[in-house]
Amino acid sequence: MPPLRTILEARNLDVLRPYCRKAFLDDKGRKALVVDRLLANPLAVPAAVRQEADDIDAILASLPIREGRALLPTPDQSPSACTVPASTSNASYAMTIDITTSAIPSFAGEIDTKIPAPITESGILKPRIETANPAFTFQPTSRRVRGVVGDTAVVDSRHHLLVWEPHNKLPDYSFPSAHVRTELLTPRADAAPPTTHPFGRPRWPEVQWFDLTLGDRKIEHAAWKWNVPGLEDYITFHWLKGKVDKWFEEDELVFDAATLPFNHPRDPFARIDVIPSSRHVKVLDTAGNLLADSTNGLFLYETTLPPRIYLPKADVKFENLADVELTTTCPYKGPTGGYWSAKAVSAKPIAWSYTEPSLNVSKIKDHVAFFNEHVKIFVDGVEYVDSPKVWA
C-alpha cells in the first residue's frame, strides 16, 4: 500500500475548496492540505464532492487523532509514533488533515485576557522605545545604496549614515560627498517650500539646499546638507516623486517614483514578526456585519505599531466589502495590492492586502488585514485591544 502522504496528495482536494473553510500549503512547502469539515448541507453538495469527501474520510479513519486533528506522520516517522486515546472518535474529525506531529500545550486554568495596568514609570524604569529623541541621532551602515536619475547613478555608497532629525521617527540616508556626483549639484541661496507630506523632511530649518541638473533635466531642492557639526560633509536626498527617480539597497529596488509618491529608508531598529495563530478571529464592521471569520490568521507584530492580523482571503466576506482605488507602500512590506471599505458603513478604507510583499514578510501574500481602529475585532470571543502604548 502506498504511504498515506502519497494517497492524500493524489486526492482531488481542489473540488472541496468551495465547501471548506480553509485549504492551504504549510509554510515549509510540504504538499499537505489542512481542510475543515464541510460547512454546507450535505444534500446541497454535488455528488462528486460528496464522493471525494467520503474517500478522504475513509483514509482519515486509519490515521491517529490528537487534539481534534488527524495527524499525518512525517517521512521519518511511522504512524505508530502518533498515539491517541482509545476513546477518541475519528468520525467527529473527518475532513481535517494536518501534518503537525504534536499538540501545543495550553494553560489548564481559566484564561485571563485582561490587559495589565500601565506600568508606573520612574527615574530607574523607562519604556524601551523612545521615538522623540530631542537630538540628531545617527547609525553607520555598510549597506550599498544607489540613487538613480534616468540612467545615471547620482549616488553610489557603501558606507554612509542613517540620520534621524530631532523628534522624527523616520531616518534618512546621508552620504559622504565623495560618494555623490557633486558636479551635478548647484547650491541654492533660498529655502525649500514647506513640505506637505506628513513624513516629509527636512524639518530642521538650518540646511543648505542643492538643485540637481542632469542634461536638460533640473530637479530643484533635490538634496540638502544639515548645518549640524559632524554632518558638514554629508549630503541627503529626498525620497519623493519628482526628485531622484529610483533608490536601490544592494540590488533591491526600494523606491520607484514612477509608481509611488513617497518612501523612506528602513529603520534597522524596527522589527517585524509574522506569526501563524489558530486563535479564532472574527471581524465585524461598526454596523455589526461579519467581515471575516478565521482560525488561520497571521499575527504581524511591528515595533511601536499596533499588531495587525492578516487573514486568508478565503475567510473574508468580500460580499460585505467594496473595492477602494488606493495604493500605498511600506518600506518593510512593499506596495499594497488592494484596499476595501465596509459597504454598509462608508467608503473609508478599512482593509488592505499585499499581492507581492517583501521577502521578509512573504507569508502575508494574499491575506487581508483590517484597521483595528475602524472595525471590531474579536479574538477567541474577546474584543481585541492592541494599543502598544498600553500593552502589546
Confidence of residue 340 (pLDDT cuts 50, 70, 90): very high
The predicted-structure confidence for 167-188, as pLDDT tens digits, reads as follows 888 899 999 999 999 999 999 9
Reference 208, options 231, 222, 187; nearest CA is 187
C-alpha cell at position 15: 473540488
Superfamily (CATH H level) for 272-383: Domain of unknown function (DUF427) (2.170.150.40)
According to the model, what pLDDT value does residue 56 have? Answer: 61
| CA distances to 196, 322, 338, 341, 348 from 325, in Å | 22, 10, 8, 10, 11
- Domain boundaries defined on the chain: 4-98, 137-256, 272-383
Q: Which three cell numbers stand for residue 17?
A: 475548496
User: In the β-sheet with 349-353, what is the strand arrangement from edge to edge?
Assistant: 272-277, 297-302, 308-312, 367-370, 349-353, 338-342, 321-324
pLDDT exceeds 90 at position 94: no
Helix, strand or coil for residue 188?
Answer: coil
Could you say which architecture CATH assigns to the domain 137-256? Beta Complex (2.170)
Encode burial over 244-255: b for 16+ CB neighbours within 10 A, e otherwise.
bbbbbbeeeebb
pTM exceeds 0.85 = no
- Contact criterion met (CB below 8 Å) for 285 and 350: yes
Residue 140, Cβ density class (10 Å: 0-12 exposed, 13-18 middle, ≥19 buried) = exposed
Residue labelled with grid coordinates 539646499: 209
Helices (H) and strands (E) in the chain, counts: 2, 27
pLDDT cut 70: percent of the chain above it: 66
Percent of the chain with pLDDT over 90: 43
Tell me the one-letter amino acid at 374. Answer: H
Burial class (CB in 10 A: 0-12, 13-18, 19+), 359: exposed
Q: Name the grid cell of 296.
A: 488561520
**What whole-number distance in Å separates Cα of residue 301 and Cα of residue 272?**
6
Where do the DSSP E strands lie in 108-188? 137-141, 145-149, 152-157, 160-164, 172-176, 185-187
Average pLDDT value for residue range 331-354: 94
Q: Which of 182, 286, 308, 291 is nearest to 233 (CA)?
A: 182
Alpha helices in the chain (DSSP H): 4-10, 47-60
* pLDDT surpassing 90 at residue 284: yes
- Residues near 93 by beta carbon (within 8 Å), at least 6 away in sequence: 37, 60, 65, 68, 69, 70
Q: Which residue has the cell 473540488?
A: 15
> Residue 362 CA to chain centroid, in angstroms?
8
pLDDT at 54 over 70: no
* pLDDT single digits (tens) 254-265: 888 888 778 889
Please name the residues in contact with 32: beta carbons below 8 A apart, sequence gap of 6 or more.
5, 8, 9, 25, 26, 72, 97, 98, 99
Give the 3-state secondary structure of residue 20.
Answer: coil
